[in-house]
Amino acid sequence: MLPLVDPSDVNEDGSIDLEGALAPIDPNDDDPTKEAILLTETGLPIRVGPAFALGSDIADAAPGLDPQTSEWSVGLRFTAEGADAFAQATRELAQFQIGDERRSFAIVLDGEVISTPFIAASVNPAIGISGGSAQITTGGGPEGQSEADALSIVLRFGALPIVLEQDRVQNVSATLGGDSLNSGIVSGLIGLGLVAAALIAYYRVLGLVAVVGLTVFGSLLVAVYSLLGITAGLTLTLSGVAGLIVAIGITADSYIVFFERIKEDLGKGLPLRRTVESGFSRAFRTILTADTVSFVGALLLWILAIGPVKGFALALGLATIIDVFVAYFYTRNAVALLARGPFGDGGAFSIRGASGLRRKTEEVTA
């Protein structure tokens, strides 16, 4: 709280006469012992200071409604030191005549004048406002209530002993952000290529089915992202790329579960076509359970997290839904189609050849 200095420093056109007066406040200078030129809410420049009370001198501030006058006000309660300082200041301010700007004081927060209440005519200049409490009337109606609520919050906030210090500043250019996104996309493509090579090397023709399935999966995911970009303004962020890379592993796991079921049933001597049907039925339950867990995790991340994590959660959630769709409508039919043709039982690159059973049979026969 700061007393207002003689407004004669303000010219008729609203400009400030700085001759013999104070220079404007330095935004980095928050010294309450100095005077400063500040702007009121209406844009009028006033010279204030030094402060006679700080936020730490206010014990409490609460809005209230006077039932007799129907006017809202803010009740102030000061600390012991604040009560003495406020009484002394109001004694001095009450010496000026009613209507004199110097009879008011300024409530300032972060270099901004929040309010400039006047000392009431009933205040005795010889005593001031004593007793450790005071009341600032803001008026009646919704506007008075709104102003009382806002002013009480400002006064309580100003009493908090918080000092903010700048730890560090880091600027990221648009070029650097674009490079990071491109690097993430390239990393994802490299990872996809390595996964495809490993699947083909180990599962032969089944691995080729998985590679085509990953391509279908990726195409559907890009299509969904494009659609959301058009309808909802969604953009692909670096965290979203990270979610897509994780989704590649989830989708690859779905194929591995199915293919291992096929190899297991072939090892039991079951016919190939029956193996494909029974293997998918058992594998799909596992795939559905795993994708459900992943989707629930992504949903929780989306609800509870903020900022970039939401992009990761969205990519992961969309990927799990598409994975179930691709597994049911593409993978089962593609493998069943191969089982009916020459890639079912013939050659080392076939489904049975990937299990190693044909090679073992030929060695025993020989």
Look over the chain and give the mean of its residue pLDDT values, rounded to a whole number. 77
Q: What is the pTM of this model?
A: 0.47
Domain spans in the chain, listed from the N-terminal domain onward: 2-158, 188-365
Q: Rounded to an integer, what distance in angstroms lies between the CA atom of residue 336 and that of residue 347?
A: 17
Instruction: Give yes or no for residue 22 having a pLDDT over 50.
Output: no
Predicted pLDDT of residue 222? 83
- How far, in Å, are 161, 252, 318, 320, 324 from residue 298 at the CA level? 40, 18, 9, 9, 15
42-51, 91-100, 163-172, 313-322 — which is least confidently predicted?
163-172
Candidates 112, 108, 116, 131; CA nearest to 53 is 108
Instruction: Give yes or no for residue 20 having a pLDDT over 50.
Output: no
pLDDT in tens, 186-213: 877 787 788 788 888 887 788 888 888 8
Torsion of CA 106, 109, 110, 114, to 10 degrees: -70
Domain 188-365 = CATH 1.20.1640.10: yes
Average pLDDT in the 305-313 region? 76
Q: Assign domain 2-158 to its CATH architecture.
A: 2-Layer Sandwich (3.30)
